[in-house]
Amino acid sequence: MIIRIMGEGQYDVADVDQDLLQKYDNQVEDAVNVGNEEAAKNALQSLHDYVVGHGKPVSDDYLGSSEAVVPFVDATLQEITELLTGEGFIPDPT
């Protein structure tokens, strides 16, 4: 799976712990659902750090699409909300 972090690039997260990735994604969604901007930003920072720290950067000349888009870490609650789908940023594995 390729995740795009807005303003930073794309990361291949196929080899990361998918349960942990979903945990971070769910934390962002939960914080947004209760309208807690500070918690949402903290959770977004954790998600960002996990993707950047464990994913493999995708080369700049990659022409494929991203399966998920994550906002930049200093996004507002409104900006975070606009990018959320019914499954958070990252589709739940089926």
Q: What is the torsional sign of CA 8, 14, 20, 24?
A: positive
Per-residue pLDDT averaged across 7-16, rounded? 94
Q: What does the domain layout of the chain look like in residue ranges?
A: 2-83
Inform me whether the pLDDT recorded for 86 exceeds 80: no
CA distances from 25 to 31, 54, 89 (A): 10, 15, 7
The residue written with tokens 């903290």 in the block is 42
Write out pLDDT tens, residues 12-51: 999 999 999 999 999 999 999 999 999 999 999 999 999 9
- Count CB atoms within 10 A of the CB of residue 82: 10
- Beta-bridged to residue 42, according to DSSP, are none
Distance in angstroms (rounded) separating the CA atoms of residues 94 and 33: 23
Write out pLDDT tens, residues 42-77: 999 999 999 999 999 999 888 888 999 999 999 999
